[in-house]
Structure 1
């Protein structure tokens, strides 16, 4: 079989006329659509497009062509595309069927019919719509509180998708607009969490992806519970702190660090710690300090284990002064990735009140 060579675009009208003249002669005809301008047909990517062409006589000489060349001349197929075929539901129809339409199929198509004097043409413009698809989105990111954050979400589609950002919280705020970039200036711990990017157009359902933003911040004591205890009984002091990364806890008494030994048990989980005295004696009464720390800062709180007979303890505990915040500049250890850079570290001191119990 000899392969057909497509003619140059400028020569198409002449070649087409010659081809039509070689077809069996019929009566002069005209297409029912020839007096109209170019029609548009819109098809979604992957669907089948049918470009209609109807003539008035079954012996008409008809051909289809597009910007690339001749597709059909009569019933003779010139295109090598297996997706393209003729649609003939009746003898006067000469429609073109394109299966699994893609974006490169978009453009002008011409149905040409030979009349007595010259070819008459009917044109249709195929528009291919593409569902929205997110092509690029920021990776999950971890930053320190107060930093500026830029999230990126890019999407493809026809028509061009509208990008919408939303912070996934119970009262999630939406950031609407046709912008691929979401800028958060001076981010706070409340702005941590997942951010959803939605790309939408009218072709199909939206494409949705998420980015997780983690905000690091120094520890803050959220709860510290002093306790009264009877000798011979079990008693606990509890301390909770909020921080990212999660804080490490230490317990002190009179500036001496306490370990789990000699009837004392320390249990720490993410965000909370407890000091338990398994068998309270007179020497266990007094002031204790809970220290919470991560790589961004240190904070502490004073707690008191007191006897039920001491009526002054609750009153004195209510007068504990609030935290005092100090800033330290921490230099990274040798071998650190941040060597040569200084790191700001926050220290929060709670004033300790020592109670003498008799």
Structure 2
């Protein structure tokens, strides 16, 4: 019984003997369709119901004999007889595998007439992702190629979903050409074949770009009061910040001034404004991809307007002197 050739020969002989000289009729499969579908890992019972007196009976899978009567020929411990009588001859396949898929034959001899019926076992496997791109970090303007490989029976579909905009791309591969910073997000792969709920996984795409200062403005401040200069910069990786005075001296912490750096901004905190604090400050934001800078004034309220008015007054006085002097010279002439 361990020889495949012998098993095939005996299987063929059983079918010939049971069908020789008579019409082939069908046994009842317990109202089941000719195709029986089962999920991988589940159990299935193949029922062969008999309504006549039986002399011989057998179960075959393709050309392999599983049972002849109550004698088991199969070495597979998962296959067992669950009911054998004059009215039923059924087998159970436990923990169904994909390799169990195929045709099964129940055959028996009743009242000197052969009975042969066939059933095809279909094994379905829920779709699942077996290989997917790792999270990736790229520079803005580069191309991104993601993949998501899935298996299942029947063959599953694979789609990519853009979480931010809800866009969908069909197929195992997602290609993004010259990626922009706005496209940095989680991309979700979804695979489905109708057998079970979809399987889904996400891939994070990080887009690196140089700092860009987005918020800066001049700030009025009163002597003895507090004041804040703010420098906001968007960047990936996050920017590092430095501050400089108008004479290019680095700004350093002291008892009246403190630098507070956060993820996307830097603050100059003046706790007690004095005359020495007024002036121009430059914020310098940088990461490994580049840098950006912006300047802003800390000034006394009205100082800019007063400075301008003084300048115009001085010009008017000088003009008056020049006109008077010209008039005197003309009179003498």
TM range (shorter): 0.7 to 0.9
Consecutive unaligned residues of structure 2, counting only runs of 5 or more, are: 309-333
1:237 paired with 2:229, answer: yes
Q: Distance in 2 between matches of 1:54 and 1:115?
A: 12
Q: Distance in 1 between matches of 2:203 and 2:112?
A: 66
Q: Distance in 2 between matches of 1:228 and 1:15?
A: 105
1:290 paired with 2:286, answer: no
1:212-231 matches, within 5 Å, as 212-231=204-223
The TM-score with structure 2 as length reference comes to 0.82
1:145 corresponding residue in structure 2: 140
DSSP 3-state at the match of 1:222: strand
Contact 1:20/1:73 (<8 A) preserved: no
Match for 1:180 among 166, 172, 175? 172
Q: CA deviation at 1:265?
A: 1.2
Q: Distance in 2 between matches of 1:30 and 1:281?
A: 108
1:210 corresponding residue in structure 2: 202
List per-residue Cα deviations over 1:83-120 (Å, max 9, x = no partner).
11223286311122211111010011111223677754
DSSP 3-state at the match of 2:9: helix
2:163 corresponding residue in structure 1: 168
List per-residue Cα deviations over 1:109-142 (Å, max 9, x = no partner).
1112236777542111111000111000000100
Q: CA deviation at 1:167?
A: 2.1
Q: Distance in 2 between matches of 1:151 and 1:218?
A: 24
DSSP 3-state at the match of 1:42: strand
1:259 paired with 2:252, answer: yes
Match for 1:84 among 79, 93, 96? 79
2:62 corresponding residue in structure 1: 67
Q: CA deviation at 1:57?
A: 1.7
Higher helix share: 2
Q: CA deviation at 1:16?
A: 2.4
DSSP 3-state at the match of 1:231: coil
Q: Distance in 1 between matches of 2:63 and 2:54?
A: 27
Q: Distance in 2 between matches of 1:68 and 1:284?
A: 96
The TM-score with structure 1 as length reference comes to 0.77
Consecutive unaligned residues of structure 1, counting only runs of 5 or more, are: 22-27, 316-358
2:117 corresponding residue in structure 1: 122
1:136 paired with 2:134, answer: no
DSSP 3-state at the match of 1:256: coil
Q: Distance in 2 between matches of 1:93 and 1:277?
A: 93
Give the count of matched residue pairs. Answer: 300
Match for 1:189 among 181, 185, 192? 181
Q: Distance in 2 between matches of 1:15 and 1:208?
A: 51
DSSP 3-state at the match of 1:60: strand
Specify whether residues 17 and 203 from structure 1 end up closer, same or farther in structure 2 by C-alpha distance, changes over 3 A only.
closer
DSSP 3-state at the match of 2:54: coil
List per-residue Cα deviations over 1:28-54 (Å, max 9, x = no partner).
9954359xxx92111111112222322
DSSP 3-state at the match of 1:79: coil
Farther off after superposition, 106-115 or 8-17: 8-17
